[in-house]
Structure 1
Amino acid sequence: MRRMSVTGLALLLSIGAAQSAQADALDDAVNAEIKRQNIPGLAIGIERDGKIIRLSGYGSANLEWQIPVTPDTRFQTGSTGKQFTSLAILMLEKDGKLSLDDPIAKYFPDVPASWADIRLRHFLSHTSGLDDDFAKVDLQKNLTWEEFRQFIYKWPKTRPAGAKWVYSNAGYQMLGMVIEKLTGAPYHRYLESQIFRPLGMNATRDLSETEIIPFRAAGYEHEGGKLGGTLGNQAWAAPIFNHTADGSTYITARDFTTYLAAMDAPNPTFAALWAKAKAPVIKTDPDKPVSYGMGWFTVTKNGTPIEYHGGSWQGFRALIVHYPQQKTGIAILVNSDIPEWLPLFDKVIAAAVPDLPPPPQ
């Protein structure tokens, strides 16, 4: 048996102590914010060099039954799931099934005449010229898919496609319909067969109002969305709004971290597609450094490139961050609307990866 040198033992002990201190700092930061903001539950995953180095769960997945959050608790992605839609479109392009320069009218000839200049790439980069006005949406009115598409057609188009970045859920909802039209199957079936299962994301799946879904977290909202507001169950939304391609996905901290880790390990199947999705297309604001690619925000902060996206949907918030130079990724999933989400995410990232800057939000 080889005997470890005193120097080697000291090095291992110092690494262990540093990891323990980091773990304590992360636990302290998360638990303090859970208490301050009355957050039900939270899960975190961290990867480095293509390997998962930490998975942690905090608080409750279900307050009525006091079920604890674990790395295998299913949370809703919100808009962090837009990157899966982007990746699916890019895979279909790679397979010769479509082109990013295809006009949306190629797939839906009945689109408004004002949409003639909209290409698929405009939907991916939020530059279609459409303005979402969700304050006018009745989320409790269920629609057929045909009615829903006609409903999207009524969104105002206020500028030429490609002229300006304006965040648009409607664009990603249309992309989901394109995927279904080309594959002849529900949007999530394509994601599962082509993305989730090949990457080992075995718990990631679509939302469902009727199925029994193990380890599903309940979503919670603070009254008025304010700190100190009474905590209640998430508001009910009609089924149509939980099956669109702008972020209607269940995922676990384990699966999301597995996804991030795949970016930092040799992965010829996805590497070129991720590179294309993350390439900056347009600045979100001419006076700010943040750019948007296709399902990803990108920025360089303190000399550090950062790729990230947040998500929010009735009783859930999420954030994923990837540092390509450091080959490090972090996923944060919460089953609450979080009245003060920016301090939470900043404190968690500062404790989880203290050597790296948090993304702007």
Structure 2
Amino acid sequence: MKHKNIAIAFFALIIALPAISLAQTSASDSINVFIKAKMQQRSIPALQIAVIRNGAIVKLSTYGTANLEYNIPATDQSLFNINSITKAFVGVAVMQLAEQGKLKISDPVSMYIDSLPTAWRNITLQQVLTHTSGLPDILDAEEQVLGHNDEAEAWKLVTALPVAYKPGEKFSYNQTGYVILGKIITKLSGVHFTKFIEDNQFKAAGMKLTRYGDSYDVIPNYAGAYTMTRQVGNNFVRNSKPGIAYIQFPVFFRTAAGILSTAGDMANWIIALKAGKLLKQKSSLDALWSPAILNNGKIGGFNALTNGYALGWPTVTRAEHPAVGPVGGGRSGLFVYLKDDLSIVVLTNLMGSNPERMIDEIAGYYIPEMHEANGFGLSPALKQLRLALLKQGFDKADAAAAGLKKKDATLNFNENELNAWGYQLISQKKAKDALAIFKLNTSLYPQSANAYDSLGEIQEMLEDNTAALASYKRSLALNSGNKNAADRIKALSAK
């Protein structure tokens, strides 16, 4: 009987293995189609992706062109600049020093740096790491390092500036604190911060290709840096195709940005970090990934998606599938899903491609409920409305919303959230459903110029020009400065 059970179990495993492999292959193929469409839509020359599950890389793919000038294809060996994701490495480095007993993140920076301005002395390492310090920024208005990349001059200029706000008062992205952290890591470790990070993270995690560098350096297999915008006077003009971007990160600034890597190396770093190879104590990882709490008890971050900031790590703080999500240069991003066995790295060579905005959708190929088309990302109120509309029909949107409000008077259908959902539906090729949502928005918010402007756009898309013209006119009446409505009224009236 025992041998029979073993045989049955072995047979079951043999049958199950191809099914698991098939599921992963299917997800990978679907992701390929999705990514290629996004690359075309956003004019991304090259992209690398790595997906990690069960402590292993289950997908590692590269697409597109690393060098547009010479039409050189990107490969898995192509190096991408990860820009501010560098700060996540700094957070790990600080926690490694904490585990060695050399510092506490609650310590004031003045314990380790002499001759600081008086107003800086009580700012803590934690506040510096989380961009809640109030320090003046070492970048100027055009995002160039003060002092023309000269460290002594930059330090002299920034220390002469006043603090921006009381520490802990708000989140405000700031590079000065990371220059300070570089000084502290170098002092406490006894080696330059770049070597400390190379030895204790690059080498420890098996990141064989990862290095420091910028546009000035000659870097083998570099995927380059491209941008869709160029500066004309004080304005930035968007082009129809990518142009070359030039970025320098002086060595003293390379705690803020300056690491180049591959999706494969970044995946190995995440695997090593989660496996306890870089930080030995779980409490260190918890601290690393916990968003700062501001003086008002809230958290602060870049936007509605990366809405918090921990120790060098932006956070995606939400009830469903929370994550930590370092992003860099509008061109690179990675999400580690804290309650799911899933991490995703996406690197591109186009500034402004914002790959973090596609990572949740990629996750949906492994966790289907995370697909936008399945309602992921909608507020709890809109999720209720969506379920009601799936049953009753989107053409019953007004009645469905009224019915839900009758059951729960506290239910709030936010104007901006409804508007965003409408555009999501358009992207999902559900124009008639989008029309119903935009109509509902004007019904709920009859004094909103933006709601009528969006309604006009979908009506025009559906070639109902008479209705679109009426909506645009209503929008312009509510906001005489609405240029889009004025332009569309002129265009439609000429037909």
TM-score tier (shorter): 0.7 to 0.9
After superposition, residues 5-16 of structure 1 pair within 5 angstroms as 8=13, 10-16=15-21
Structure 1 position 182 matched with structure 2 position 188: yes
Q: Which amino acid aligns with 2:220?
A: P
Q: Which amino acid aligns with 1:240?
A: P
In 2, Cα distance between equivalents of 1:46 and 1:20? 13
Partner of 1:122: 127
Offset, 1:55 = 0.5
Deviations 1:94-123 (A, max 9, x none): 223233233223333322222122122210
Q: Quick check: 68-77 or 55-64, which moved more?
A: 68-77
Structure 1 position 309 matched with structure 2 position 326: yes
Are the equivalent residues in 2 in contact too, given 1:72–1:253 (CA < 8 A)?
no
Deviations 1:125-144 (A, max 9, x none): 21111254642444596332
Q: Which amino acid aligns with 1:128?
A: S
In 2, Cα distance between equivalents of 1:64 and 1:352? 36
Partner of 1:83: 88
Partner of 1:192: 198
TM-score normalised to the size of structure 1? 0.85
Offset, 1:193 = 1.0
Pick closer, same or farther for the CA change 1:125–1:18 going to 2, 3 Å.
Answer: same
Partner of 2:337: 323
Deviations 1:196-245 (A, max 9, x none): 211111222211566543222111011247765331111343x5278420
Are the equivalent residues in 2 in contact too, given 1:301–1:357 (CA < 8 A)?
no
In 2, Cα distance between equivalents of 1:229 and 1:140? 32
Partner of 1:67: 72
Structure 1 position 94 matched with structure 2 position 104: no
In 2, Cα distance between equivalents of 1:255 and 1:268? 14
In 2, Cα distance between equivalents of 1:7 and 1:106? 62
Partner of 2:108: 103
In 2, Cα distance between equivalents of 1:226 and 1:43? 27
Structure 1 position 240 matched with structure 2 position 259: no
Offset, 1:83 = 1.2
Pick closer, same or farther for the CA change 1:134–1:300 going to 2, 3 Å.
Answer: same
In 2, Cα distance between equivalents of 1:345 and 1:230? 24
Q: Secondary structure at the match of 1:172?
A: helix
After superposition, residues 45-64 of structure 1 pair within 5 angstroms as 45-64=50-69
Q: Which amino acid aligns with 1:52?
A: I
Higher relative contact order (CA 8 A, sep 6+): 1
Q: Quick check: 316-325 or 99-108, which moved more?
A: 99-108
Q: Percent identity?
A: 27
Partner of 1:163: 169
Pick closer, same or farther for the CA change 1:198–1:5 going to 2, 3 Å.
Answer: closer
Q: Secondary structure at the match of 1:223?
A: strand
Gaps of at least 5 residues in structure 1 are none
Partner of 1:295: 312
Q: Secondary structure at the match of 1:164?
A: coil
Counterpart of 1:284 (choices 294, 297, 300) is 300
Q: Which amino acid aligns with 2:275?
A: A
Counterpart of 1:27 (choices 22, 32, 35) is 32
In 2, Cα distance between equivalents of 1:140 and 1:115? 19
Offset, 1:6 = 7.2
Deviations 1:147-186 (A, max 9, x none): 2222332454132222322222221122112212333433
Pick closer, same or farther for the CA change 1:37–1:320 going to 2, 3 Å.
Answer: same
Counterpart of 1:336 (choices 331, 345, 350) is 350
Pick closer, same or farther for the CA change 1:108–1:305 going to 2, 3 Å.
Answer: same
Offset, 1:319 = 0.7
In 1, Cα distance between equivalents of 2:276 and 2:142? 45
Q: Which amino acid aligns with 2:323?
A: I
Partner of 1:217: 223
Higher helix share: 2
Pick closer, same or farther for the CA change 1:262–1:231 going to 2, 3 Å.
Answer: same
Offset, 1:85 = 0.6
The alignment yields a C-alpha RMSD, in angstroms, of: 3.1
Q: Secondary structure at the match of 1:150?
A: helix
Structure 1 position 206 matched with structure 2 position 212: yes
Offset, 1:39 = 0.8
Offset, 1:27 = 0.6
Q: Which amino acid aligns with 2:344?
A: I
Are the equivalent residues in 2 in contact too, given 1:49–1:265 (CA < 8 A)?
no
